[in-house]
Each structure stands twice: as C-alpha cells, then as structure tokens.
Amino acid sequence: MAVKTEFSTQDFETILSQFDLGEYRSFKPFKHGAVQTNLLLVTTKGQFVFRYYESRSKEYALFEGELLEYMVAHSYPCPAPIRNRQGELVGVFNGKPFALFQFLEGRHSTSLTHYRQVTAAMGKLHTITLGYIPPYSETRDTYDPQSCWRNATVGAQKIGSETEAQERLRWLRTELDKLQLPAELPEGICHGDCHYSNFLYENGKLAAVLDFDDASYIPFLYDVANLIFFWTWENKGEIDFVASRKLLKIYQRQRTLTDLEKQHLFDYLKMVIFMGIGWVFDTDEDFRNARRKIDLLNTMGRDEFRRKMFKAL
C-alpha cells in the first residue's frame, strides 16, 4: 500500500466538481500498487478508482485512458475510464495528472493455478489490439536494451562500490549485445506487468485485468515472456517447462505465434529479466537472482530452450 500524496476533503470536492459522480463521502487506499497513488473514492453515487500520476506526464496518462476506452468497446474485462463534464479523460490537480475509473468487484489471488485464465486474457488483449496504436504511444516505455541501459546507469550511481557498479555494467552491456530482437515481430498493446496483483477474480473466474500504467505498443512477445516470467518460473527456482508449454498452448488459442516469435522467445524472456535488472540494479539480492536466471538461460542455449518450450505444441 502506498499513498505518496495526501488529499483533503476539500481537494476531492474540487476534483469531483468536474464530474457527474455525486458528492464526496470518503476514500481509502488500495493494498496493491506502489508507483502511482491509487485510491477507492466513495461518493453519493457509488465507488470509483482515483489514480494520481505521481511521475507521469498528462500525455502518458491519456494513453491509458484512450486504450481502456478502446478495450471496453471491444468487451475486454478492464475498468472503463470516466470522462469529466468537458469530455476529458485526464485532469490536472496541483501540477500532476489524474484520472477516474470504474470500480470493478473482485479479489486478488496469489495462486499460480490462475495462469490459464491470465494467459487467455493476455491473448485476447493482443488479438483486440493487433495494429491498434493509441494516441501518445510515443510517451510509453520501449522495453528494449536502450530502456534497460538507461535504468541501469541510474541504478549504478546508487551502488556504494564503484568497482562493483562498473563490473555489473560491463556484464549487462555484454549480455544486452547478445540479444536478437528482430524488427519484424508482430506488435500491438502489451500490458507489460503480468504480476498476480493486476488481476481480480470472482468465484474463481477472472473478472478484471487492472493497471495499464506499464502498457505500451511493442512486440507482443514481451507479454508472452512476461507471462512465463511471472507464472511458470518461480522467482528463486527454474522454469517449469511443462506449465510453460501449457501456457503457450492456451495463448495460441487466441493468437498463433509466428515462427519468428518462437525463434526469439528466448531473447524476449531475457529482455524481461533485463528490464527487471535495470530497475533493481543497486539491490544486491535481486540483481544476483536475476543474473542467475540469465546464466541459466545462457547455459541452456537458444536451441535447447526452443526444443523444451515448443515440443509437442
């Protein structure tokens, strides 16, 4: 739970005066979500989600609003953004953008058995958004070696030992240069964060996909690798190839992977790990564990990885 900006009753009365959502009653923070300030806002007309973008531009926030409207129109299970009286998706309060969303009922679950439903939902997302480029896509992360390197160089400055920082950067640069990321891969909207906290369930069924703050227009393969990373590769363990093959089979009921995608899933699984490394570059335990995963993939090699991942598919 993280509330980075405090709001008063008067603040919410001012914000709600721009909407037809009734009068302010109360609010409480959500248990999940640590980057932006996300609050459950209660009014005389119901419950709504208030998101205050702590470190984003208005254009960045507009990407999310436009995307969610598009997906709701295509019957995707995600929160609908709420326009204000002027028809705007994003407002500004005290110099930072904010948005209001529909509140969807459901519970979070940490059970990895939900990977089947989550995978199907990601496959549907990719099918719906194939070729769709929302406005302000250029404001979003590219999830590529350049993005990873930018984050890592910032993190390196927080490491107490200059020798250790330079050793990590040399290793990372060498590994990033090994990646093969073809420009011809199919692209569309990737959710970007398939962590269990971004899904809600009702009676054991997936009810909602949440938090498109990390979403971007990039190769779909990033999300496919992200699914494996979060759902079939326990953080301190090794890849469960049996579960991964089932995951890929479920995904392909929605969208068939091309031969080129199958060839480069190895690279994109590394890319997902590298993005994580960039974000935790100065955190010793997380860095060592992520490096361990890259070493496991290097030891296995591209051909053996593909054989294990796609046999019998």
Q: What is the pLDDT of residues 223-277, one digit of tens each?
A: 999 999 999 999 989 999 999 999 999 999 999 999 999 999 999 999 999 999 9
**pLDDT over 90 (residue 3):** no
pLDDT of residue 31: 75
Percent of the chain with pLDDT over 70: 97
pLDDT of residue 32: 64
**pLDDT over 80 (residue 87):** yes
pLDDT of residue 5: 86
Percent of the chain with pLDDT over 90: 92
pLDDT of residue 52: 96
Q: What is the CATH number of domain 9-102?
A: 3.30.200.20
Cβ distance 196 to 109 under 8 Å? Answer: yes
Query: Which CATH homologous superfamily contains domain 112-310?
Result: Aminoglycoside phosphotransferase (APH), C-terminal lobe (3.90.1200.10)
pLDDT of residue 282: 95
Residue 207: how many CA atoms within 13 Å on its side-chain side? 13
Q: How far is CA 185 from the centre of its chain?
A: 19
Q: What is the mean pLDDT of the chain?
A: 95
Would 9-102 and 112-310 be classified into the same CATH topology? no
pLDDT of residue 34: 63
pLDDT of residue 272: 98
- Per-residue pLDDT band for 313 (boundaries 50, 70, 90) equals low
pLDDT mean over 70-82: 97
Q: Any idea where the domains of the chain sit in the sequence? A: 9-102, 112-310
What would the pLDDT profile of 4-51 be if each residue is shown by its tens digit?
A: 789 999 999 999 999 999 999 999 988 765 678 999 999 999 999 999
Other Cβ atoms within 10 Å of 8 Cβ, number: 8
- Per-residue pLDDT band for 131 (boundaries 50, 70, 90) equals confident
Q: pTM for this one?
A: 0.94
**pLDDT over 80 (residue 2):** no
What would the pLDDT profile of 272-298 be if each residue is shown by its tens digit?
A: 999 999 999 999 999 999 999 999 999
